Chain A
C-alpha cells in the first residue's frame, strides 16, 4: 500500500511537470486548480481505500461490501456507475450539436430503470450472492451456465473498459496536457489500487463521492446558465435557436432515430442492455435486502433523471455561451477546441472561470476512475467467483483463496486494459459501447430474465440460446454500418442497422425457448421441478443472503 502511494505521488509529480511542459508547447495551459483538486480527490479516495482495506476481510466484504450499503448510498453508486464521463460529456455534447436529439438519447438510457425495478431488482437480491450468474445458475447446471455468464460479463466489461480508457486518455490529454499513454497508465494504476485493496467498499464510496461532486458541479453549471437568462427557458431556447446553425431544427427530433426498426432496436438495446450490465447488477448484492434494493433503484432513477435534465440545460447553455466565443473555438476549423464532447468543459470556464473549469476537469477525471473501478471489480468477480470458484473448483474452494484469485484477476484485467487502451488509441471505438450493450441485452439479460420467470428453462436452452444471442450480436455489429463500412472500408453494410438488439435479442429468446422445450432429459426435468422452490425464495426472500454482521 505504501509503495503504491509513493508511486502515485511520483506520478502526480510527473503530472504537474508534464502539464507545465504541455503549457509551454501550447497544447493547453496548465490549470493549476484542476491538478490540485484532482490530487485532493486522489488523496481522499486513497484514504478511503486504506479505510476500506481494513474492513475487507471476507469474500463477501470484497464482492459486496458485506451487504451493508444502504438504499440511498447504493442509489448514488448506481447513478454514479451510469453517469460516466462518456455520458456527461457525450450527452451534453450531443445536445450542443443537435439539440433535442440529445434528450431522446437520455430518455432511452433512463427508462430501463423502472423496468429493472419492477421485474428484476428484488428478485436478483433474493436469489443471488455476488454475481448475476449466481441467479442464472440457481437451479441449472453450474459449469456451463457460469462459463457462459462469465464470458458475457467479461466481454461486456472489456469492451466498456476500452471505450472508457480511450475516451479518458484523450480527455486527460486535453484537460491536463498529460501524454495519452501516461494518462491511461495513471487511470489503470489507481483503478487497480482501489479495487485490489478496498474491494467493493472502496469502489462504492469512490463512486458515491464522485456522483455527489458531479451532480453538484452540473447543478451549479445549469443554475449559472439559467441565471444568465433570467431563469427563463423561453429566452434560453430563443437565443439558442437564433445562434445555432440549424436554427429551429434543434427544437425537434433530427436524424438520431430515422426509421422504426432502428428506433425500436436502440430502445431494446438500452433497456435490456442496462438490465444485463454486470457492474450494475452486482450493485444489488451490496444492500441488505429486497427493500433496500427497491430504494436503490428509486434514488438512482431520480438522480439519473435529474442529471439528464441538467445535461440538457448545459448543452443548450453551451450553444449560446460557448459556440459564439472565439476563445473556445479552433480558428482553423471553426469547431470547438477538443471536439464537441468538450462543450460542457468549455461552458464551465465560461460560467465559472479557471477555478470552476479546474473543478469540472477534476470531476471528469474522477468520474473516469470511479466507473472503470466498478467495471474492473465486476470483471474480476466473474473470473474468480464464476469461472474459478464455481465452474472449475465446483464451489469447493477456500474463501480466502477465492479472494486472492479475484485480486490477481483485478491486476491482470487492469494491465490488459492499460495495454488495450494504448493499442486502441487511434482506432474508431464508437461501436464498442454499443456492442457492450448489445451483448448484455442479448446474452446476459435473456438468461437472467428467463431463469427468474420461466419454469421450463433448462441448461441446454440457456446455453445454446444465450450463445446464439451473443454470436448474433457480435456478427451483426461487425456486418453493420459502423464496423463494416466506417472501419473496414467496405462500400455497403451487409446488415443495414446500427443497433442489432432487436434481432439478436429475438434470436436469444427464441433459441432459449426452443432448446428448452425440446430438452427431454432427466436433468431438464429436475431443473423445471426446482423452479417452485426458487420462486418461493424469489418472492419472499426466505433463505436469501443477509447482510454480514460486523
Chain B
C-alpha cells in the first residue's frame, strides 16, 4: 500500500493530472454519446412507433432499418475510437507518468 506522501506526490504530478483528466473526460463523453443515441432510439419507439416505420421512397425498406444498422456501427466505431486513442496517446502519457514517478512507486 502506498503511504500518504507518495499519494500526494503522484496526485501533484502534472502529467498524472493530465492523463486522468483527458482520459476520463474522453471516456465519459463517448459513454454519454452512446447512451444518448440508444435512448433516443428506444424512446422514439416508445412514444412514436410510427416514425421508424416510415418507408423510404416507394420501397418497403423503412427508416428504422438504416437507423438500426447505424446504431450497431456507431457502437463499434466508438469502441474503435476509444481503443485507438487510449492505446496510443493515453498509454504514452501513462508510460511517461510511470517514468517520472519511478522512485515513488519503486519500479
Contact = CB atoms under 8 A, between A and B. Distances in A.
Nearest to B61: A237
A238 B60 contact: yes
A452 to B, nearest CB: 11
A309 B7 contact: no
B79 A298 contact: yes
A231 interface: no
A263 B49 CA distance: 12
Interface residues of A, number: 53
A257 B42 contact: yes
B68 A263 contact: no
B31 A253 contact: no
Interface centre among A117, A119, A253, A260 (most CB of B within 10 A): A253
Interface stretch (A195-203, A370-378, A508-516, A536-544): A536-544
B86 A294 contact: yes
Give chain B's interface secondary structure class: helix
Contact of A260 (B38, B43, B75, B107): B43
A114 B34 contact: yes
Given A291-B87, A539-B19, A260 B46 contact: yes
A251 B64 contact: yes
Contact of B79 (A100, A114, A119, A264): A114
Interface in A274-294: 291, 294
B83 A113 contact: no
B76 A301 contact: yes
Interface stretch (A10-18, A102-110, A322-330): A102-110
A302 interface: yes
Nearest to A122: B86
A150 to B, nearest CB: 25
Given A110-B75, A234-B59, A301-B79, 20 more contacts: A100-B65, A100-B68, A106-B72, A107-B68, A117-B79, A118-B27, A118-B30, A233-B61, A237-B59, A238-B59, A238-B60, A248-B53, A253-B64, A257-B45, A264-B39, A267-B39, A294-B83, A298-B79, A539-B23, A540-B94
Interface of A: 100, 103-104, 106-108, 110-111, 113-115, 117-119, 122, 233-234, 237-238, 241, 248, 251-254, 257-260, 262-264, 266-267, 271, 291, 294-295, 297-298, 301-302, 305, 308-309, 532-533, 536, 539-543
6 contacts: A114-B75, A115-B34, A117-B83, A119-B28, A291-B86, A294-B83
